[in-house]
Structure 1
Amino acid sequence: MPKSNILYQHGTLALLVPGLLDGTITMKELLTHGDTGIGTGEGLDGELIILDGKPYQVDSTGEVNIVNDRFTLPFANIHFGDYQQLVNVDKISQKDLEDKILSLTSANTFFSIELHGHFTNVRTRAVRKSHKPYKTLAKTAEKQSIFEKADVTGTLLSYYSPEIFDGAAVGGFHHHFISDEHDFGGHLLSFGTASGDVKLQQFDTLEQHLPVKNHSYMDFDFSGEDILGDIHKAE
């Protein structure tokens, strides 16, 4: 029986900073660790949101695709969904939503939020796939497309990481979004208001998987990098 208390993470956000963007896990393998998650493809190829075992990719043109088992990723979070009702919200702002969630749980452990409902003034992004030789995360992220919807019904899938893990993940919230129509989504930059049911799944275990067979990662010297600064600029 799948363990719903485990958050599986492949790669780290820190490895993306200097441009270690090789796909080091296949979607087929990733899906053995969960049915719900987020990530990005090799070369920062779009933004992934996995719901009910289906891996949707929002590419840099705004198209939503279901990727195949051979699709590879340098970074992903995934878990087996077992959400519990937390709170119902009505026309709540993004900041107030995040504050409310934290007031009802703990900021010292990993958790995931799923909010299905109606959203206003949603802004998302997706990055255009780059190829070797890869540039840094900051340079690659400059080639991002911004998408906007004034009104949309969809699912906000978020992970929260404690500040003490900043660098391995993003300390705080990391949001992805997909519309019910599967015609809009990506890494969430902001929204105006949200209305719907907020569900919570808390984890007591982080399973951190590193790409030890990737020579670029294993041989890289991170000591000269401003990891945290560059992550927060890009995110």
Structure 2
Amino acid sequence: MLTTALVCVGLNGFSQQISAPSRYDILYNYGIIEAFIGGLYKGTLPIKDLKLKGDFGIGAPDMLDGELTMLDGKAYQTKATGETVVLDNDYKTAFSTVTFFKADTVFYVNNATEQQNLLEVIKDGLRNINAMYAIKITGDFGHVKTRAFPPVKAEPFPLLSTILDKQQFFDIQNTEGTLVGYHLPEYLNGIQISGFHLHFLSADTKQGGHVLDFNGHNLKVEIAELKSLELDIPTGHDFQNFKFKPKHSEALERVEQGK
């Protein structure tokens, strides 16, 4: 197997080899979460293009129509009706985060555990609190509470925070399945959601959604630390004219202005 490398010339005139990042080390992010929750729900990236960037991840379907989960290279949509379907390659996503998943840490939890306890164990074991991690949890779930939004229809689209009463909740009982998601650092908040963000997909791929709570046993926990972020933003009119909230840092402003 050939190893791809970049070659550059150092200050001393000798060539230096810089290894290119493995595709397993890259977190690919399409869109900006602040813009998405601010009403940019139209899908603009085809699933076939998203699959070129990863085989594992989570996102949002076109027009806020449910929740998107990618597992083993297939993209699934869990609708507000509770139905989960495989998405066609031409279907478009408004916001998604994927990677080619390859775990570098694996451990097992055989006894029954609640969401809060397990996530605390995972967080305490992360060796770098400022790194990006993909997380996959597979096993037997006694209970998973998920949600999905119904599609929006007419513009101007409402802020996501103003239609929380529209979300539909699902109480999934006694099933095998997989939690798919990430733990991301605070400095990405706004581009992404910091902390844990998980979706669920049942083993029969008929149930899923955004995870609000769970408990389970006989769980296999797989974690992949990601080394770099690839960010793509939409190029359409809606994104070009979206008004982001200013983010002020007095310390940075003083340094920039030399005061």
TM-score by length of 1: 0.90
The answer for the alignment partner of 1:163 in structure 2 is: 186
Contact 1:130 1:140 in 2 (8 A): no
1:15 positional shift: 0.6
- Structure 2: 5+ residue stretches without partners: 5-21, 248-259
Contact 2:32 2:190 in 1 (8 A): yes
The amino acid that maps onto 2:47 is M
Conservation of the 8 A alpha-carbon contact between 1:6 and 1:207:
yes
**Of 5, 8, 13, which residue of structure 1 is paired with 2:33?**
13
Q: Say whether residues 1:148 and 2:171 are aligned partners.
A: yes
Give 1:24 deviation, angstroms. Answer: 1.6
- Describe the SS at the equivalent of 2:210: strand
Indicate which of 164, 177, 199 corresponds to 2:200: 177
Instruction: Give the superposition deviation at 1:84.
Output: 3.3
CA distance in 1, matches of 2:115, 2:130: 20
After alignment, is 125-134 or 137-146 more displaced? 137-146
User: How far apart, in 1, do the equivalents of 2:213 and 2:193 lie?
Assistant: 16
2:147 aligns with one of 125, 130, 150: 125
1:107 CA drift (Å): 2.0
Give distance in 2, aligned partners of 1:32 and 1:47.
Answer: 20
Aligned to 1:231: none
2:65 matches 1:52: no
**CA–CA separation in structure 2 for the residues paired with 1:85 and 1:109:** 14
Match of 1:114 in 2: 136
- Picking from 65, 84, 101, the partner of 1:81 is 101
Cα deviation code 1:161-184 (max 9, x no counterpart): 101211111110000001111221
TM-superposed deviation, 1:224: 7.6
Alignment check: 8 A CA contact 2:85 2:206 kept: no
* Number of equivalent positions: 224
Two-structure CA RMSD over aligned residues (Å):
1.7
**Cα drift, residue 140 of structure 1:** 3.9
Aligned-pair distance for 1:72?
0.8
Q: Distance in 2 between matches of 1:85 and 1:136?
A: 38
Percent of matched pairs sharing the same residue: 32
CA distance in 1, matches of 2:71, 2:198: 14
Equivalent pair of 2:101/2:134 in contact (CA under 8 Å): no
Equivalent of 2:213, from 166, 169, 190?
190
Residue ranges of structure 1 left out of the alignment (5+ in a row): 226-235
CA distance in 2, matches of 1:216, 1:194: 45
Query: Which structure has more RCO (C-alpha within 8 Å, separation ≥ 6)?
Result: 1
Q: Could you give the per-residue CA deviations for residues 133-185 of structure 1, whole angstroms, max 9, x where no partner exists?
A: 01111234432110002322100112111012111111100000011112211
CA-CA distance at 1:55 after TM superposition: 0.7
1:215 matched to 2:237? The reply is yes
